[in-house]
Every structure is written in structure tokens, then in C-alpha cells.
A and B are shown apart, each in its own frame.
Chain A
């Protein structure tokens, strides 16, 4: 195996490769986000005996672009009583962490470029998974800020709900994957993928089914998807934290929601389904897994009612947190024995 490419051995090539990787990941992510909205509308449409978008381009395929253009040219309204700086900052604060998280997700094995080994991952942090948890936690500031800065009671309620929800669910989510670290003995995502290499049955979903379930459900709660979409619950809080937003700012919230979906799907695939492992070239495997999880999220949205605020908290603290702790104890016991 040739030497790992780094800033010290070939700075120009390193920067070029890095930029290429960032650009590729960013473009792919944006494309997935754009077409996730389309897929969601199409899939839910058909599940509801409708058709979804059909008028823009063949099969409505240009719909995301039309939506983007429409939102771009809409009047950008800032309510008179809103806290301006926070109001403008909030959508960015929610989108940026969502996109940053992807940096640590490995999307393939190593390749050799110009005599050096290049890992197909933007940044291989030693504490990759902590970074992901931190960024997901940071995303909620955007929601809380948006809810507070809008100076609207519905938005405020949405923001408060979101804060409470993320605090309760981040704990359970974090604890549930502790078991995965215990098995992989590393926090680096690359290391976790390596620990699952080999046969398909090395995937942690088989050795850690409980952790998988808990992490999946808590992740759904963390990204505010149905049945846990309380912060925006349109039938209760009108549109929750983004009630007052319009134009591109609203589009940023929208993109962040779908970007979060992609990120969560990618993280679950990496932690529990062996990341890029599988029968096809690495990236395609990972994408297939991501699409599968996104489909499940969309499917759930079409099927389930919304839970209530107090029930959500109850589940977070009294069901998932003990379950995650129990899982750690069991895993520990098995490892020791």
C-alpha cells in the first residue's frame, strides 16, 4: 500500500483532491436533497392514490428546480417586530451543521492517485461520531433561534418543543451507539466501517439490533420527521418555527430538513450497515442504503399519526434511555465474557 496522501508529502495534489472530494460530496448531497423533495411528493402521492407532481417536465422531474426558482424570486419578508440578526442567522445555523456532518462519512474504500493512497472520505476525524452528534445538536440552535426571533407565539412554541425534543433524544441516541464503539473500539467512522468489513453478518445491525432500533427512532425524532415532527406540526402550530419565514430563508429550512434526512440515513448506514460495503462499488452501496432509509422515513410519514409532546418526552426518557443503557450493560457483559 502506498503512502497516505497528506498536506506534507504533496500539498498541491492534496488540496486538489480535497477540493474535488468536497465538491463531489456537496453536489451529490444537494442533488439528493433536491430530488428527495420530489421523491417524497411522488411516493406519498402514490401511497395516497394521487400522482404527485406531473406538470413540470417529464413526470414532473423539474419540480425541485421550479420550486427553487419560485422560492428564490419570492418576496423576502422579515416581520417588523422580529429580532433581525437572529432571524437571518437562524436558517443558516440549521443548514450548515446539516451539511458539515457529511464530511466525516466515508463513502468508499481507498483509491490510489498519483502514487498516494487517498481515502474516500473528506475528513477522517478520530472522534468522527462525536462530531456528528455535536453537529446534530448544534442544528437545533437554528430551530430555537428561528422560533424565538420570529416573535410569533406559534414559532416560539415550536422552538421550545424542538429544544426539549432534541435534548431528550440526543441522550438516548448517544447512549445507544456507545455499544457500537464498544464493539468497534474506535470513534472514527472509518474504523467503524473497517470493523464491519468482511461478511455481511459482521454488520452491527445483526450484533446490535436493539441499538439499531433505538438509534433509528431517536434519529427520526432528532430530525423532526413524522411521527415526531412536533416543532413544525402544521395542524397544531401552523408551521411551527418556520411560520414567519418566506422566500430563500424558508427554502434553507426546507433543504436542511432533507439534508438532515440524508445525513441520518448515511450515519445509520455507516454505523450499522457497514457503510460502503456490499456487492456494488462502494459509493453505490452507500447511496442505496441511504435511499432505503429515506424511503422508510417517507413511508412512515405517509402512514403514522403524530405523537403528542408529553408522550414524546415520556418515550425519550422512560423508554429509550433505559433501553440504551440496558443495551450497554448487555454488550459490556458479553464482551467481558
Chain B
């Protein structure tokens, strides 16, 4: 009995030695997510604005129905989204939009600091998503 108590105490004492800490001091040291991390969405820009062709496939694939798209054609007859909005309060970060996109126009970044003060701030419009 005494032996086991001492064994337990020695385990905790061993961890007291320096060099055992696993803490990431978060606001000071930022956690770097892995490459596939599904964070904030990003619309991939290209020379004419955005790669997106407003095909609605992401909105169709979205299980949470958080993507709103309104499409229009520009003077060259190319379809583009006039409105592209993701409601992050509904988004479940499943990655289906990225999987569905046929032109690789949407991707998910490593951005994970998504807190905001107003509900409106969680609506990510095209301009914010293109950044």
C-alpha cells in the first residue's frame, strides 16, 4: 500500500521537473493549424474579381444551408456572384462546399479566431471572403 502511494507521488513529482509543460500560451503564441484545417472560408480571387462562377453547387451541397448566392452575367457573358454570403453562425465547417466546388473557387483557411460582437459581423460577404 505504502509502496503504491510513493509510486504515485513519484510520478507527479517527476512531472514537476522543468521541461514537461505542454501548454501553448495561446494569445502570446498562436496555434498553427495543419494544412487541411477547416477554418474560415475564402473565395479565391483571380484577375476579374473572383474565380467563382456562381454555379450554386456549394449552396446545394451545404448541409446547414448557410451560403446565399445571387448570380449575374458580366459584359463578357461570364457568370459571377453579385451576392455571395456565408452565415458563419449556421456554418458547421464540414468542408462540403470546398468538396463540391467544380472550379476550386472556395477554400478553407487556417483562420480560427472567429469571435465577434454582433450577429451581423458573422455574415461574411463576398468582399470579406475575398480577402
Contacts and interface: CB of A to CB of B under 8 A. Distances in A.
A adjacent to B, CB under 8 Å: yes
A209 B20 CA distance: 35
Contacts of A302: 12
A48 B15 contact: yes
A50 B23 contact: yes
B118 interface: no
Interface in B37-90: none
A46 B16 contact: yes
B115 interface: no
A54 interface: yes
Given A299-B9, A303-B8, A47 B25 contact: no
Contacts, number: 34
Given A51-B25, A54-B25, A46 B9 contact: no
A214 to B, nearest CB: 14
B116 interface: no
A299 B11 CA distance: 11
Interface string A264-303: 0000000000000000000000000000000000011011
B9 A303 contact: yes
A46 B5 CA distance: 20
Contacts of B12: 47, 299, 302-303
B25 A43 contact: no
Given A54-B25, A302-B12, 7 more contacts: A46-B15, A46-B18, A47-B13, A49-B20, A300-B9, A303-B8, A304-B8
A46 B21 contact: yes
The binding surface of chain B is classed by DSSP as helix
Interface in A37-92: 43, 46-51, 54
Interface of A: 43, 46-51, 54, 299-300, 302-304
A47 B16 contact: yes
Contacts of A300: 9
20 contacts: A43-B16, A46-B15, A46-B20, A47-B13, A47-B16, A49-B15, A49-B20, A49-B22, A49-B23, A50-B21, A50-B23, A54-B25, A299-B9, A299-B13, A300-B9, A302-B12, A303-B8, A303-B9, A303-B12, A304-B5
B16 A51 contact: no
A51 B20 CA distance: 10
Interface of B: 5, 8-9, 11-13, 15-16, 18, 20-23, 25
Query: 8 closest A-B pairs (Cβ-Cβ)?
Result: A47-B12, A303-B12, A51-B23, A49-B22, A303-B8, A302-B12, A49-B20, A47-B15
B3 to A, nearest CB: 14
B15 to A, nearest CB: 5
Contacts of A50: 21-23
Nearest to A50: B23
A270 B104 CA distance: 76
A300 B13 CA distance: 10
Nearest to A305: B8
A43 B23 CA distance: 14
A147 B11 CA distance: 36
Contacts of A46: 15-16, 18, 20-21
A87 to B, nearest CB: 37
Nearest to A46: B16
Nearest to B23: A51
A304 B8 CA distance: 8
Contacts of B8: 303-304
Interface centre among B5, B8, B25 (most CB of A within 10 A): B8
A49 B23 CA distance: 7
Contacts of A54: 25
Contacts of A43: 16
Nearest to B25: A54
A49 B12 CA distance: 10
Contact of B21 (A51, A299, A303, A304): A51
Nearest to B8: A303
Nearest to B9: A303
A202 B82 CA distance: 90
Nearest to B18: A46
